[in-house]
Amino acid sequence: MECAFTGKISHPCLVNSSKVLLYRRKEMRTQRLYPSTRFKVQVGFGKQGSSTDVGLEKIVWPSPNDEIPFWKKNFPSWDTGPAVPVDIKKDSDLMHIIHVTAEMAPIAKVGGLGDVVTGLARACLSRGHSVEIMLPFYECIQKQQITDLVLLTNYNSYHDGNWIPTNAYRGIVSDIPVIFIEPSNHFFKGRQVYGGSYNELEAYLFFSRACLEWMQVTGTQPDIIHVHEWQTGALPLLYWDMYTHLSLKKPRIVSTIHNMEHYGECRQEQLSKCGLDGSIYATTDKAVDDRTIGHNPERLSLLKGGIVYSNAVVTVSPTYLKETLNSGWLASTLIRSRDKYFGILNGIDAYMWNPAIDVFLPAKFHAERPKGKKICKYYVQRGLGLAPESTVAGHQVLDKPQKVPLIVCITRLVAQKGLHLITHAIKRTEELGGQIVVLGTASDGRVQNEFEGLANLHNQGPNVRILLMYR
């Protein structure tokens, strides 16, 4: 593997990048570490007021007839995850890592990408590394979700022949320093992370360059720039073909592929708007979308360009790595990049996702004291109309709803998730007398229509709820 990174600093595939290999090994350790039992959670078993005491008399039970559904009510706080753990053994070779991403949990979370970015950043912080996240300052982000928010820098960044005045803010989210990039034009304006009235591809091209421009004007030279998904796929191209010829010399680029279904299709003239000559990248060994070869016009893929120009490429599991090497039009590119392509199983932040201390739950629980889990299950059943309200008596939850198995499926409704298995599970669970809740949404109108039909068929019954609203 190491031979892929030896040589002169003239091409991303021929770079002395022991830091990248070291970071990859650390990433593998941190992703394995977070689910482990090394963390010491102070629960206070059996003590009055402990985090697992179940006070039924204090719970306001939800109802499907509530004017505001229980999942839309105000939570105790938007960012109440515990601080980054300090009782973790620190790494000896510490690095400065900057994640450049379109999503971050909880403030700009659409799918699993946001969770992974936040979890990995916290894991590396816990090992002593200096970590920051660079994120678009979406208009939909509520500033009260950010602590210590301050304006860092006013600078200009290039787009389509103009230098756009841009602000860089710094704040803390989930104990992670975050740099928010806010252009003065219409980019990233809207009520949601995605789906604004602006051209998203051009907005992320701008964002990719704006992040590098900020590093240049502030003299920031991290060891690792870690980019995620197609949205930041242009950054490695910009870095090696533009910014290394300016003042950025130290960083090495790691790219993570979370979902191979989104390629970042891009016209040559669109890529040129960020200051590169898009025609230069229309070759099979750079960024051309192989599916469009021979077409007029041929198109580019930002995801492919990011793969080619990164020092290391990571995907979410060894299994997914094998799948991507054996199927899909990007397989040939990944095979050519095999020496720098790694599959690392996604971990979980066992502090933030610890039901013994989670403030969002109506009752806490842990392995030695599981009663709170029954309360949480019943809370969901009550709120969705899957349990009769009369089953609460004398501050005790009766056994009848608890004995019914409850299955919850939270997912994007896309083919790779096994839609036929989900629809079969709905039917079979109901036949066997169980209950099932599906929470998701589909980008494909045909799939959305199919599940809307299932919701209309089942949602008034006693056992199935299909909620098409997860984003």
pLDDT in tens, 143-171: 888 999 999 999 999 999 999 999 999 99
Residue 363 resides in a domain = no
Residue 445 resides in a domain = yes
Domain around 415: 371-467
How many percent of the chain have pLDDT more than 70? 83
Residue 449 resides in a domain = yes
Residues 196 and 261 in one domain: yes
Residue 364 resides in a domain = no
Compute the mean pLDDT over every residue in the chain, rounded to the nearest whole number.
Answer: 86
The angle at the Cα of 289, spanning 283 to 292, to the nearest 5 degrees, equals 100
* Number of residues that make up the chain: 471
When pLDDT is cut at 50, 70 and 90, the band that residue 402 belongs to is: low
Greater confidence (219 vs 79) lies with 219
Q: How far apart are CA 60 and CA 372, in angstroms?
A: 15
Identify the pLDDT of residue 19: 62
Q: Is 227 helix (H, G, I), strand (E, B) or coil?
A: strand
Number of independent structural domains in the chain: 2
The answer to whether 360 and 76 are in contact (CB under 8 A) is: yes
Is 153 exposed, middle or buried (CB count within 10 Å of its CB: 0-12, 13-18, 19+)?
A: middle
Residue 85 resides in a domain = yes
Residue 461 resides in a domain = yes
The answer to whether 52 and 45 are in contact (CB under 8 A) is: yes
Residues 389 and 326 in one domain: no
Residue 450 resides in a domain = yes
Residues 403 and 325 in one domain: no
Residues 148 and 34 in one domain: yes
Q: Which two tokens stand for residue 343?
A: 């599959």
Residues 313 and 391 in one domain: no
The answer to whether 252 and 15 are in contact (CB under 8 A) is: yes
214-228 burial, b for 16+ CB within 10 Å, e for fewer? Answer: bbbbeebebbbbbbb
> What residue has token string 């301050």?
150
Strands 392-393 and 396-397: antiparallel
pLDDT in tens, 313-357: 999 999 999 999 999 999 999 999 999 999 999 888 888 889 998
Residues 333 and 380 in one domain: no
Within 10 Å of residue 254's Cβ, how many Cβ atoms? 26
> Which residue, of 343, 360, 395, is where some domain finishes?
343
Residues 316 and 388 in one domain: no
The answer to whether 14 and 7 are in contact (CB under 8 A) is: yes
Q: Is the pLDDT of residue 37 over 50?
A: no
Strands (E), 423-463: 435-441
How many percent of the chain have pLDDT more than 90? 65
Residues 395 and 435 in one domain: yes
Q: How far apart are CA 106 and CA 226, in angstroms?
A: 19
Residues 50 and 161 in one domain: yes
Residues 26 and 131 in one domain: yes
Residues 395 and 334 in one domain: no
Identify the pLDDT of residue 261: 85
**Backbone phi and psi for residue 173, each to the nearest 5 degrees, phi listed first:** -135, 125
pLDDT in tens, 71-113: 877 765 545 556 777 778 999 999 999 999 999 999 999 888 9
| Average pLDDT over every residue of 290-315 | 94
CATH label of the domain that carries residue 436: 3.40.50.2000
DSSP state of 14: S
Residues 336 and 392 in one domain: no
Residue 360 resides in a domain = no
Please report, for the chain, how many H helices and E strands are present, in that order.
12, 16
Nearest CA-CA partner of 357 in 85, 94, 28: 85
Specify the pTM: 0.84
